[in-house]
Structure 1
Amino acid sequence: MAMGLFRVCLVVVTAIINHPLLFPRENATVPENEEEIIRKMQAHQEKLQLEQLRLEEEVARLATEKEALEQISEESKQQNETHGAWDLWSTLCMILFLMIEVWRQDHQEGPSLECPGGDEDELPGLGGAPLRGLTLPNKATLSHFYERCIRGATADATRTREFVEGFVDDLLEALRSLCNRDTDMEVEDFIGVDSMYENWQVDRPLLCHLFVPFTPPEPYHFHPELWFSSRSVPLDRQGYGQIKVIGSDGDALGCICGKTKLGEDMLCLLHSKKNAVQPSGEMEDLLCARESPYLDTMQVMKWFQTALTRAWLRIAHKYEFDLAFGQLDSPGSLKIRFRSGKFMPFNLIPVIQCDDSDLYFVSHLPREPSEETLASSTDWLLSFAVYERHFLRMTSKALPEGACHLSCLQIASFLLSKQSRLTGPSGLSNYHLKTALLHLLLLRRATDWKAGQLDVRLQELLCFLEKSLLEKKLHHFFIGNHRVPEAMGLPEAVRRAEPLNLFRPFVLQRSLYRKTVDSFYEMLKNAPALISEYSLHVPSDHASLPQKAVIL
């Protein structure tokens, strides 16, 4: 375009300079034929006009091309800016999603909350928003409800424990007298666990849970196999294990054919020519699964029920009551029936001690709705009940006199029990309530559990449960919890293990989770009226829920 303008200007300047009228030459002569000169000038003028028109058209074309190029360049620039902005936004979104995922893994793996101080606002997620649908009665009403309804209902717990313990001592002694020490399992003294021995039992009738450890006859011994850190174990099997029966020589089957050279015409009675295990009554007598060195829970259940029946028949003449099994699917669920019609249930649970620790493998526990089906009868659940009892005792010594921690657990357990009778059992159990309390005891200062803080701590306990339910995360208190004091003496394998989520079944069972959440919020809605009703008068039958307490 610049070259075109230069050419136009050059033609115009040349025409002006060469015009005879503007710049006449000194030696020029006037042509003889004036008409010829005029004709030539007109032709030259027309030629210049044509040239000017051509140049103007070229200038217009160049200008159009320039505008088109500028428009294309502008569109390309805008497109690049748009793509750049979109790429930037996509990158920011990706970073944001990654940050959310990292935060979820770090903070939603379980409600492990820091507690540097004692104020409610210092616990993240607990002191800010109140529970949905919960307005607890005032402190005076809550204290009156506890003293009148809960403390009074459990006043005879000590007498109940003493009666059950005396009877169980006699029953186990009779069992030992019937056993052959050379071939039968050896039963040890019982160990009291759970709410009756932790002083927070609420439900009536009062229920004692007693562990009964047993060991195999010599020369055999039990070899527990923990499943905490093994990557090959499914997540739903974490917290379980297997128990191998091993002889004194380390051979699980007690066969020496692999250690000696047999003749070609000699066969082992336990193995065939292909070295396959043959049925052996020896291992089955040791309560192992068929053709397996691992202890079988079903075999243990049958053995324990048979042994208890024989022991009771031996001493039944000494007592003026009957003894019967309470639940057929639980090996030690027993029930004392008095002639008056009253009964007293208790649980004798056969267990196996894990090495020299206070961990015990449990053959069977009353099933909760959230429990998943065992993959094998050789899977044993690992119980921390003895450690839980020790931790509560150790913590209580550091708390103020009349601390409200067990009162909070009792009230929460009472509300859950009434709600379960109203709408049926859900995935939330008393063990979850106790686990939540243990976490809070470890996070809170001792001075925060004064008797006057009952309403605040109860609100906090329920809020902790709500947060755990919404996140579907409630970690086991001992497994993988580095905050637990070393004075508890937990095995190193337990401390190093990955945290175990007790609410994992909610991730897999959506219907159970929905029912549990609905039941939990229904419990919160019923709590104020229920507490107020029971604080006014204590019904004679605690199993019946007052109609006034039901808010639908």
Structure 2
Amino acid sequence: MQFGIFKVCLVVVTAIVNHPLLFPNENATLPEEQIIQKMKDREESLKAEQMHLEQMFSSAVTKEKREEEEASQSTEASEDEPPWDFWSALSMVIFLMIEIWRQDFQEGNAQASTKEEDDLPFLGNNCQGVSLPNKAVLAIFYEQYIRVTTHDAVRTREFVEGFADDLLEALRSVCNRDEDMEVEDSMCIGSMYENWRVKKPLTCDLIVPFAPPEPYQFRCQPWISSHSISPDKQGCGTIQVIGPDDVSRACVCDRTKLGEDMLCLLHNPTTNKTKVSRDIDLLCSKNTDFLDTNQVMKWFQSAVTKAWGRISHKYDFDLAFSHLDAPGALRVKFRSGKIINFNITPVVQFEDSDLYLVSHFPSSPRPHDSNIQWALSFAIYEKRFLKDISKKLPVNSCHLSCLQIVSFLHSKQCHITGSSGLTTYHLKTVLLHLLLSRQFSDWDVVMLEERLRDVFVMLEKCLLEKKLYHFMVGNPKLPHTVNIPENFHFAEPLNLFRSFVLDRDLYQKTLVMFYEMLKNATVLINEYSLRLPASSLNK
């Protein structure tokens, strides 16, 4: 019995010591043929050792049988012990199990490696080795293409702002103030008002806060990054419509002693005696008290149509919706054939901050399937940050020029290969992070080529890691002058590339588009630099 156990242990220890998978460093430098030959030699050595041990054990058993007192005990032990073939078979089974485990382990590693390689088909390509246009080419391209577009943007903004004010004033006049939503003044956001838009047609983006009629209120419940929130809900929230009874419970006058000559404007005697009985359409989702994005879209489109009907006689152009799946995606068409696009999007303000909840993003599909989920917009904070930091940068800073060129290349590449998971908002987020990670002096106009490469390098790194964190949410480097609400400033970072983790096909398509964009960068810029001297191209 003891000898059988010894044989099994000997086989297992030998397999472990000599197995190339378990101790790869010892056999890593040997060819496969030498490893096999080494294992054969070890097997022959083990067989010889086994024969020697068997002989020694047989002689011991013979000596014990000569003693009469131990003869019966020796016979019973021999009957209880398994035959020698059993221990050999058991040793072979253990050896085979180790071999099967080795093959499964290698196959699992091969599958994991293959999957990872499929996810990163361009791993090894580095932006540092990509040829980008030199300073002379970039300077001429910017003067001939980007700056001309900027001049057009100024005229477009002036027209859109004036017409939007007139349209919203007419919208208020056609709405019933006692039953309809109250619309406030519009605010300009986005690339056109941050001076880096180059994609044509030039489109202005405006947001219009709205509120329910008294005595109703909106209660915003934003969801930020947290372990308790599913990934598809991060970066959005819901809007609950609060009725008069709910508002009364939340009023501070119930917890504060007011003076005899002080009166709560919310709970004055007249209000308490008046019971609201009118049927108001609060645009809620069916059987809920949460604001419905589709209901808001239908209401706003209907209100805009009525407002245009009231003021259309004053203008010599036509107004129509350019996208029916967005609340206020409008198109102005002049008699000359010129077209101007702009978006007026209804939003709800979060408390007293500059954070807004948006029902639909213009010219893009809804990011969520639920009609009660609203996306968070930090556009006002981002606009403020760019304005503040521009005062610290050099006079001829290249940060916006850099973003314009990257946005131009992205737009042209999307026309060639189709859209992907990479958006201009991702490009802008990369630039915002770089503005805080580099010295202000590094953004001088003469450093345009270097900063352009920095954007591509960081973007590539984020794509390969599938991580691009939101600039405003959970960013410890964010200046306090931005004045973002604390619960967002100290929240966990929000990964904007989360979709790439969940959608492998979208990720591969985005990688293809990104590297094609890098490869075509110089060709596209040279193509649009029509008056570029031949000598500059060779520098």
**1:317-356 paired onto structure 2 within 5 Å:** 317-356=313-352
Stretches of structure 1 that go unaligned for 5 or more consecutive residues are 1-67, 91-127, 255-279, 539-552
Counterpart secondary structure, 2:348? strand
User: 1:157 Cα deviation (Å)?
Assistant: 1.5
Q: Equivalents in 2 of 1:75, 1:321: separation in Å?
A: 94
1:59 is matched with which residue? Answer: none
Counterpart secondary structure, 1:440? helix
Q: Equivalents in 1 of 2:223, 2:497: separation in Å?
A: 18
- Is residue 200 from structure 1 mapped to residue 190 from structure 2 by the alignment? no
- Given that 1:211 and 1:348 are in contact with CA atoms closer than 8 Å, whether structure 2 keeps it comes out as yes
Q: What TM-score results when the alignment is normalised by the length of structure 1? A: 0.69
Q: Equivalents in 2 of 1:288, 1:252: separation in Å?
A: 21
Q: What TM-score results when the alignment is normalised by the length of structure 2? A: 0.70
- Given that 2:350 and 2:356 are in contact with CA atoms closer than 8 Å, whether structure 1 keeps it comes out as yes
Q: Equivalents in 2 of 1:332, 1:252: separation in Å?
A: 34
- Measured at CA, do residues 305 and 84 of structure 1 come closer, stay the same or move farther in structure 2, by a change above 3 Å? same
Q: Equivalents in 1 of 2:319, 2:16: separation in Å?
A: 85
Counterpart secondary structure, 2:246? coil
Task: Say which of 362, 365, 368 aligns to 1:366.
Answer: 362
- Given that 1:246 and 1:253 are in contact with CA atoms closer than 8 Å, whether structure 2 keeps it comes out as no
**1:37-48 paired onto structure 2 within 5 Å:** none
- Given that 1:133 and 1:525 are in contact with CA atoms closer than 8 Å, whether structure 2 keeps it comes out as no
- Given that 1:413 and 1:430 are in contact with CA atoms closer than 8 Å, whether structure 2 keeps it comes out as yes
User: 1:390 Cα deviation (Å)?
Assistant: 0.4
Counterpart secondary structure, 1:347? strand
1:429 is matched with which residue? Answer: 423
Q: Equivalents in 2 of 1:315, 1:77: separation in Å?
A: 91
- Measured at CA, do residues 518 and 253 of structure 1 come closer, stay the same or move farther in structure 2, by a change above 3 Å? farther
- Measured at CA, do residues 151 and 247 of structure 1 come closer, stay the same or move farther in structure 2, by a change above 3 Å? same
Task: Say which of 201, 210, 214 aligns to 1:214.
Answer: 210
- Is residue 415 from structure 1 mapped to residue 409 from structure 2 by the alignment? yes
- Deviation sequence 1:379-416 (CA, Å, 0-9, x none): 00000111110010011010000100000000000001
**1:119-518 paired onto structure 2 within 5 Å:** 130-131=126-127, 134-228=130-224, 231-250=227-246, 282=279, 285-366=281-362, 368=364, 372=367, 374-518=368-512
- Measured at CA, do residues 367 and 201 of structure 1 come closer, stay the same or move farther in structure 2, by a change above 3 Å? closer
- Deviation sequence 1:421-461 (CA, Å, 0-9, x none): 11111111110100000000011110010000000000010
Counterpart secondary structure, 2:447? helix
User: 1:281 Cα deviation (Å)?
Assistant: 9.1
One-letter amino acid of the structure 2 residue matched with residue 168 of structure 1: A
- Given that 1:210 and 1:349 are in contact with CA atoms closer than 8 Å, whether structure 2 keeps it comes out as yes
User: 1:133 Cα deviation (Å)?
Assistant: 6.3
- Measured at CA, do residues 368 and 502 of structure 1 come closer, stay the same or move farther in structure 2, by a change above 3 Å? farther
User: 1:154 Cα deviation (Å)?
Assistant: 2.0
- Measured at CA, do residues 173 and 81 of structure 1 come closer, stay the same or move farther in structure 2, by a change above 3 Å? closer
Q: Equivalents in 1 of 2:225, 2:417: separation in Å?
A: 39
**Superposition RMSD in Å:** 3.0
User: 1:483 Cα deviation (Å)?
Assistant: 1.0
- Given that 2:225 and 2:235 are in contact with CA atoms closer than 8 Å, whether structure 1 keeps it comes out as no
Q: Equivalents in 2 of 1:366, 1:202: separation in Å?
A: 17
User: 1:354 Cα deviation (Å)?
Assistant: 0.5
- Given that 1:244 and 1:252 are in contact with CA atoms closer than 8 Å, whether structure 2 keeps it comes out as no
Q: Equivalents in 2 of 1:201, 1:253: separation in Å?
A: 47
- Given that 1:132 and 1:521 are in contact with CA atoms closer than 8 Å, whether structure 2 keeps it comes out as no
- Deviation sequence 1:5-58 (CA, Å, 0-9, x none): xxxxxxxxxxxxxxxxxxxxxxxxxxxxxxxxxxxxxxxxxxxxxxxxxxxxxx
- Measured at CA, do residues 307 and 81 of structure 1 come closer, stay the same or move farther in structure 2, by a change above 3 Å? closer
1:120 is matched with which residue? Answer: none
User: 1:158 Cα deviation (Å)?
Assistant: 1.5
- Deviation sequence 1:449-506 (CA, Å, 0-9, x none): 0000000000010111111111111111111111111121111111122211111111
- Given that 1:320 and 1:338 are in contact with CA atoms closer than 8 Å, whether structure 2 keeps it comes out as yes
Stretches of structure 2 that go unaligned for 5 or more consecutive residues are 26-123, 251-276, 533-539
Counterpart secondary structure, 1:209? strand
One-letter amino acid of the structure 2 residue matched with residue 481 of structure 1: N
Q: Equivalents in 2 of 1:526, 1:438: separation in Å?
A: 25
1:115 is matched with which residue? Answer: none
- Higher alpha-carbon deviation: 308-317 or 415-424: 415-424
Q: Equivalents in 1 of 2:22, 2:376: separation in Å?
A: 52
Q: Equivalents in 2 of 1:397, 1:183: separation in Å?
A: 46
- Given that 2:225 and 2:493 are in contact with CA atoms closer than 8 Å, whether structure 1 keeps it comes out as no
- Measured at CA, do residues 447 and 291 of structure 1 come closer, stay the same or move farther in structure 2, by a change above 3 Å? same
Q: Equivalents in 1 of 2:425, 2:248: separation in Å?
A: 36
User: 1:343 Cα deviation (Å)?
Assistant: 0.8
- Measured at CA, do residues 282 and 463 of structure 1 come closer, stay the same or move farther in structure 2, by a change above 3 Å? farther
Q: Equivalents in 2 of 1:368, 1:414: separation in Å?
A: 18
**1:21-40 paired onto structure 2 within 5 Å:** none
User: 1:290 Cα deviation (Å)?
Assistant: 1.4
User: 1:76 Cα deviation (Å)?
Assistant: 9.2
Counterpart secondary structure, 1:392? helix
- Deviation sequence 1:88-123 (CA, Å, 0-9, x none): 999xxxxxxxxxxxxxxxxxxxxxxxxxxxxxxxxx
- Given that 1:288 and 1:295 are in contact with CA atoms closer than 8 Å, whether structure 2 keeps it comes out as yes
User: 1:248 Cα deviation (Å)?
Assistant: 3.5
User: 1:510 Cα deviation (Å)?
Assistant: 1.3
User: 1:246 Cα deviation (Å)?
Assistant: 0.7
- Measured at CA, do residues 252 and 474 of structure 1 come closer, stay the same or move farther in structure 2, by a change above 3 Å? farther
- Measured at CA, do residues 281 and 522 of structure 1 come closer, stay the same or move farther in structure 2, by a change above 3 Å? farther
Aligned length: 405
Q: Equivalents in 2 of 1:290, 1:422: separation in Å?
A: 43
Counterpart secondary structure, 2:284? coil
Counterpart secondary structure, 1:313? helix
1:532 is matched with which residue? Answer: 526
- Deviation sequence 1:156-183 (CA, Å, 0-9, x none): 2222111111001100000111111111
Counterpart secondary structure, 1:241? strand
Q: Equivalents in 1 of 2:360, 2:312: separation in Å?
A: 26
- Is residue 521 from structure 1 mapped to residue 515 from structure 2 by the alignment? yes
Structure 1 consecutive aligned stretches of length 4 or more whose deviation exceeds 2 Å: 74-90, 229-233, 251-254, 280-283, 366-369
